[in-house]
Amino acid sequence: MTSHVAGSAAPTSPEVGAAPASKRQKNRGLLSRRDMWVLALLLGIPAFVHVFLVWVPTLASVLLSFTSWNGIGGLDRIRFVGIDNYRVLVTTYPPFWPAITHNLIWLGFFMLVATPLGIFFAVLLDKEIRGTRFYQGALYLPVVLSLAIVGFIAQLFLSTDQGLVNGVLGSFGVKPVDWLGNSSLNLWAILIFASWRQVGYVMILYLAGLKGVDPTLREAAKVDGATEVQTFFRIVFPVMRPINIVVLVITVIESLRAFDLAYIINRGLNGLELLSVLVTNNIIGEASRIGFGSAIAVVLLVVAVGPIVLYLTRTLREESR
Amino acid sequence: MAAPMTPAPIDAGGTRRTRRIMIRGLVGLSAAALIFSACSSSSASSAPSAAPASQAPASAGQASEAPASADLGATTIRSNEHEKVPAASVKAMVDYCTTKTGVTAPISITNHNDFQDKFNSFMQATPDDIVKWFTGERLRFPARNGLLTAIDDVWATIGANYTDGMAKASQGDDGKKYAVPIVSYPWVVLYRKSFFQEKGYTVPKTWDEFVTLAKKIQGDGIIPLAFADKDGWPAMGTFDVLNMRVNGYQFHADLLAGKEKWTDPKVQAVFKKWAELLPYTQPDPLGRTWQEGAQTWANNKAAMYFLGTFASQQVPPADLADVDFFPFPTLGTQYDAELGIDAPVDAWILSKAPKNLPAAKAMLACFATPEAQLAFLGEDHSQIPASKVTDTSTFTEQQKKMAEIIGASGGVAQYLDRDTRSDFAGAQGMQALLQDFIKNPSQDLAAYTQKIQGVYDSLPAQ
């Protein structure tokens, strides 16, 4: 749910809706009645879908987060409990703070390691080195796999008794390492697998952007005696601003909606607690806690939307200056 | 897809099959087909089993045997058994009862774990008449919330088929009956006869004998007791049996029902005993599934394994006769003679508004007969019928022993996640809390049990 909300923010990049107001006003006079209807329909349907599939459920989640309901019976069985859910969340609910920490670690790892690595690969592949196609394919392949599949692959690699990694290490006489069960190791182990996928994703996006950069810019920089590194950081990177914003937003979304890997491996227990998994664990099952799960979802929403809104308002303000 | 709360034997193949799909995909299947097949494997729904029309009139002919005539019509059945063997068991049972009662019943199937996750919404929508489910608190909860139909009139005729314990396990809070138990299996210490013989080990009856044996096994460079708890639920079995041995069945039942407090020093005594047991169990249990634990034991890298008898599914079929088991050792307390045990029961329940009540009840009455339950088990020898069986001639040695062990117990529990409220037993409750203890058994137990009680108290009233 959250990702949809955040995702809908993505297209709000500078180009959209940037048409000067005066021009728009002039145009309205030229529209026939039929044009108006078509416009109303074309705008109305997406707006309706957007409101009903994004904002209504979001608001419903926020409202539900102040209630207690086990998911059985009609709406009359929903009981208003004030901020009780939030109080329990931050005081007695054991997995909450670990989940917040792990989500932030995930975000940090993606921001500092996976995404820069993806950008780095894109820059390298943009150089048309030999076998570019092969490298592109190899790096992009994991993106095609669903994260649930990546989770199974991770287990095949990391299982203590039967995993590939311990098998190889064992042949060098290393004692078996409990990759998935040791709560100070397992998050990092699965972050590597999550990054495996994220790197390819960022790479393909960035590569597409790089192809669109005007080559004369680079030639001019070269003529002026700029090094490769200077050219990238001073010329190419600033020119790629729209793509940078998309990559950033995607990085934030991907790290906050992280779910599949942890859920497949141990349903988000023991060192793999994540907000998204906590939401699921509370909502599903026989005696579900819809209100409590909604409260966690609201926390996740705030964490996800907060930084993106901050960043976008800042960049848009700079843009209009 | 990974096995969650319920220790259901059928989960074994689930993971294995998905892995197989994945490996095939890695070898070269296109990624799209891969994702599609992985998705489709998780929610299967079978075509209704065409009930043999020719058999219905045949059974109507034997009026003496089948008092219900064929004109009761049809009912519908929802089964959570998607794996091959148990799905065939359900079909065998339904087919048997179709011949007996003349009631036809198409079976729809939902993936075992998916069904547990969406049980609530399923039972509130338009469920099938008869649904496969569990007993204990997991039965009482939907009964309390008005999702089931009471079947006391059916129990009036089938009551004699069951022990008092089974009758109690089929009750709701209101004392009415809501379930027809069909099969059960005990949690025991499994071992391989040939391996014990070869190494000269003997079956321990008491804690002291167990510790002596465990030390001897460790001396031979072997793990005494396999242990795995990655999925969060297998460790509950150890807590259950230790609590029943240390504090007795009644305290255990009351604790899980919320009538006793986790902060009671009696609970700390259980964890103290568990801390004594941990040095003899397999290290790093939290990264291991029960299947992997069972394989450690099946390959003689561990001498014993405390689990449900379904652990023997991981033993090669040729070696099945080599598998033996015994009840968890007694701890020298006043509850030694009681021999409390976990023996989860699978059952059929009746949804709140069945479309054909008489047909559904006739079917349920038939499910309660030992014959129908033996038809269910067929070639599956890892469980026993839930009803009293007079003719045990078709039983394997192991089945006879299961019946004997459960029969000898003065307190039969269901399993932690079936005996207590499911929002407490789940991943955000006892699963995580028990893992917390296993990771750090020397922690301050007073604070630890306080934390458990805190989680219990934070749950909304039901």
Q: What is the ipTM of this complex?
A: 0.77
Residue A295: pLDDT above 90? yes
Interface test with chain B among A286, A288, A292, A294, by most B beta carbons within 10 Å: A286
What is the tens place of the pLDDT at every residue in B109-165?
998 878 888 888 889 888 999 999 999 889 999 999 889 999 999 999 999 999 888
In terms of DSSP H, where are the helices of chain A? 2-9, 21-28, 33-50, 56-64, 84-91, 96-109, 115-126, 132-144, 147-158, 164-171, 186-211, 215-223, 228-230, 237-239, 241-256, 260-266, 275-283, 290-320
* Amino acid at residue number A298: V
Query: What would the mean pLDDT of A53-59 be, rounded to a whole number?
Result: 91
B326 membership: H or E segment, kind and range: strand B323-326
Task: pLDDT band for A9, please (50, 70, 90 cuts).
Answer: very low
Percentage above 90 pLDDT, chain A: 24
| Parallel/antiparallel/unpaired status of strands A79-80 and B77-79 | unpaired
Q: Which of A161, A278, A288 sits opposite B120 (nearest CB)?
A: A288
Do B105 and B379 form a contact (C-beta atoms < 8 A)?
Answer: no
Q: Is B260 on the interface with A (CB under 8 A)?
A: no
pTM: 0.80
Q: How far is B441 from chain A, CA to nearest CA, in Å? A: 15
Interface test with chain A among B292, B428, B431, B438, by most A beta carbons within 10 Å: B428
Residue A301: pLDDT above 50? yes
| Parallel/antiparallel/unpaired status of strands B187-192 and B323-326 | antiparallel
A307: helix, strand or coil: helix
Of the listed ranges B24-28, B118-122, B248-252, the least confidently predicted one is: B24-28
Interface test with chain B among A64, A159, A267, by most B beta carbons within 10 Å: A267
Residue whose structure tokens are 């993505």? A10
Task: pLDDT band for B45, please (50, 70, 90 cuts).
Answer: very low
Residues 92 through 131 of chain A touching chain B, CB cutoff 8 Å: 92-95
Task: pLDDT band for A47, please (50, 70, 90 cuts).
Answer: very high
pLDDT of residue A24: 52
pLDDT of residue A218: 85
Q: Is B116 on the interface with A (CB under 8 A)?
A: yes
Which of A304, A321, A299, A239 has the alpha carbon at shortest distance from A9?
Answer: A304
Query: What would the mean pLDDT of A226-253 be, rounded to a whole number?
Result: 86
pLDDT of residue A321: 66
Interface contact B120-A264, CB threshold 8 A: no
Do B153 and B183 form a contact (C-beta atoms < 8 A)?
Answer: no
B433 alpha carbon, distance to own chain's centre? 21
Q: How far is A225 from chain B, CA to nearest CA, in Å? A: 46
Q: Is A68 on the interface with B (CB under 8 A)?
A: yes
A302 alpha carbon, distance to own chain's centre? 14
Q: Tokens standing for B64?
A: 């003496």
| Parallel/antiparallel/unpaired status of strands B223-226 and B187-192 | unpaired
Looking at every residue in chain A, the average pLDDT score rounds to 83
Farthest-apart Cα atoms in chain B, separation: 70
Find which of A125-134, A137-146, B182-191 is predicted with most confidence, using mean pLDDT. B182-191
CB within 8 A of A160, min separation 6: which ones?
Answer: A166, A176, A177, A178, A179, A180, A181, B284, B287, B288, B292
Q: Which residues of B touch A176 (CB under 8 A)?
A: 284
Q: Which of A81, A186, A282 sits opposite B428 (nearest CB)?
A: A282
Rounded Cα distance between A177 and A164, Å, is 11
Task: pLDDT band for A287, please (50, 70, 90 cuts).
Answer: confident
